């Protein structure tokens, strides 16, 4: 076990009613923190009471955005264990994002031990009703008080925890998505494969416009030709055409989603035909015209599976599967959430136990 100093909060908060949790507004009593300085490496791993942090107004992250984050979930199982879904996959991806942003690599074991200890201390905050979870948000910021442009010499990594309500509080139902034809999110050779605030900053305007037009999110096309499908920006995207599950291949500009990996593994395990390849929006519309497009769904930690009932591209709207949840979308959602919450055997070894109650 890593040496992690613990300072406990004087006063503990309490978990609000589980139907009032929402997403990302409530935080637990403690957080994990660790610092980096050039020459010293990562040091001073600690757990401290959750609270305000102080950084210089000149802190580099505020000016040039050298920062990364992760998002994963802990669940309370029926037999009173607390498990995190694919923690090492998330922490390894955190380091991949760090590499893309020139942030020094972290010891995944230290982060894992820190997370485990943090969850053990704050385990009363893990909600238990169906669909709820403890959202885990690790992030790194660059902190040098310096307004020149360079790779920073000082960083802090944090892990904060937020109990979240059921994503589908008003029911699991298909969403309407706008295929973006004006804005672009990320370009090959850029930051698209990193989980970094910059990619979200680049997506806000398009999301705002789409919302006004009545869509929940946008589907991004490739930045060069605006022809090939990339992802939704918080989710990867899947198409079921002629009983084949197709998702865009990883190409450097889309995120290598952990839920995407889970979907691919489960569908393969079920004996379905699965392809990761380049797929154009034209191909999707053509498949729809020919009656071969059966389902469209997104995959991501927050929603797990999000069925898409409508796509709109260049003003051409198509309705998918009668705007109803597809058979495969429903089956994947049920099975993956059953694994996460310990209702079926975890034959893939995806859940990591963090604490017992
Ligand atoms: C986090 C994220 C996803 C979903 O990835 P998961 O690991 O499945 O949560 C997809 N796209 C982007 C841009 C993301 O930031």
Whole-number CA gyration radius for the chain: 21
Atom of ligand 1 nearest to the CA of 302: 9
The residues lining ligand 1, judged by C-beta closer than 6 Å to any ligand atom, are: 71, 195, 199, 231, 233-236, 255, 257-260, 299-301
- The answer to whether residues 112 and 350 touch, using CB atoms and an 8 Å cutoff, is no
Q: What is the mean pLDDT of residues 268-282?
A: 98
Q: Summarize the confidence of residues 113-138 as an average pLDDT.
A: 96
78 close to 349: Cβ distance less than 8 angstroms: no
Tokens of 140: 């790194």
pLDDT tens, position by position, 142-160: 999 999 999 999 999 999 9
Residue 233's pLDDT band (boundaries 50, 70, 90)? confident
Residue 324 has pLDDT above 70, yes or no: yes
Strands (DSSP E) along 51-150, which ranges? Answer: 67-69, 72-76, 81-85, 133-142
**Beta strand 304-313 pairing with 293-300:** antiparallel
Closest-lying ligand 1 atom to the alpha carbon of residue 192: 13
Tell me: pLDDT of 357 over 80.
no
Burial 71-90 (b: 16+ CB within 10 A, else e): bbbbbbbeeeebbbbbbebb
Q: What domains, with CATH codes, occur in the chain?
A: 5-168+348-356 (3.30.470.10), 175-324 (3.20.10.10)
> DSSP alpha helices (H): ranges in 133-255?
197-201, 204-212
Residue 73 has pLDDT above 90, yes or no: yes
> Which residue's CA is the closest to the ligand 1 atom numbered 4?
300
Closest residue to atom 1 of ligand 1, CA basis: 234
Q: Determine contact, residues 132/163, Cβ cutoff 8 Å.
A: yes
Say how many Å lie between the CA of residue 11 and the centre of ligand 1: 35
The pLDDT assigned to 313 comes to: 98
Q: How far is the centre of ligand 1, averaged over its atoms, from the C-alpha of 235 (Å)?
A: 5
Is residue 222 predicted with pLDDT exceeding 80? yes
If one counts every other C-beta atom within 10 angstroms of the C-beta of residue 291, the result is: 7
* Confidence band of 1 (pLDDT split at 50, 70, 90): low
**Cα-flanking dihedrals φ and ψ of residue 343, to 5°?**
-90, -15
Distance CA 203, CA 206 (A): 6
**What is the structure's pLDDT at 23?**
94
Model pLDDT, residue 78: 86
How far is ligand 1, taken at its centre, from the CA of residue 151, in Å? 25
Distance 230 CA to ligand 1 centre (A): 12
Task: Return the best residue to mutate from 164, 235, 237, 248 for the ligand 1 pocket (most ligand atoms within 8 A of CB).
Answer: 235
Cα distance between residue 294 and residue 285, in whole Å: 12
Find the 12 Cα to ligand 1 centroid distance in Å. Answer: 32
């Amino acid at each position: 076990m890593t040496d992690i100093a613990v300072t406990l909060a004087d006063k503990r908060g309490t978990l609000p009613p589980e139907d009032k949790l929402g997403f990302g507004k409530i935080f637990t009593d403690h957080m994990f923190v660790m610092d980096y300085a050039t020459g010293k490496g990562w040091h001073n791993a600690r757990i401290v009471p959750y609270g305000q942090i102080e950084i210089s107004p000149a802190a580099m992250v505020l000016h040039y955005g050298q920062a990364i984050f992760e998002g994963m979930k802990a669940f309370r199982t029926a037999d009173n264990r607390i498990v995190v879904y694919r923690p090492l996959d998330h922490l390894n991806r955190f380091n991949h994002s760090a590499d893309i942003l020139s942030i020094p690599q972290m010891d995944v074991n230290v982060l894992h031990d820190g997370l485990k200890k943090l969850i053990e201390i704050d385990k009363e905050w893990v909600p238990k009703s169906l669909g709820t979870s403890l959202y885990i948000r690790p992030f790194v910021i660059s902190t040098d008080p310096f307004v020149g442009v360079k790779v920073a010499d000082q960083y802090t990594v944090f892990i904060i925890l937020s109990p979240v309500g059921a994503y589908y509080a008003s029911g699991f139902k298909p969403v309407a998505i706008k295929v973006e034809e004006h804005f672009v999110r990320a370009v090959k050779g850029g930051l698209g494969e990193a989980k970094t605030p910059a990619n979200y900053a680049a997506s806000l305007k398009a999301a705002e416009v789409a919302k006004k037009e009545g869509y929940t999110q946008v589907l991004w096309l490739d930045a060069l030709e605006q022809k090939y499908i990339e992802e939704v920006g918080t989710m990867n995207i899947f198409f079921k055409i002629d009983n084949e599950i197709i998702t865009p291949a990883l190409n450097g500009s889309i995120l290598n989603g952990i839920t995407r990996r889970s979907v691919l593994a489960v569908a393969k395990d079920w004996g379905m035909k699965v392809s990761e390849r380049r797929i154009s929006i034209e191909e999707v519309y053509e498949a729809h015209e020919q009656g071969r497009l059966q389902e469209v769904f997104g995959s991501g930690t927050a929603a797990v599976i999000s069925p898409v009932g409508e796509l709109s591209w260049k003003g051409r709207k198509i309705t998918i599967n009668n705007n109803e949840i597809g058979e495969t979308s429903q089956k994947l959602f049920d099975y993956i959430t059953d694994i996460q919450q310990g209702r079926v055997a975890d034959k893939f070894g995806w859940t990591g136990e963090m604490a017992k109650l």
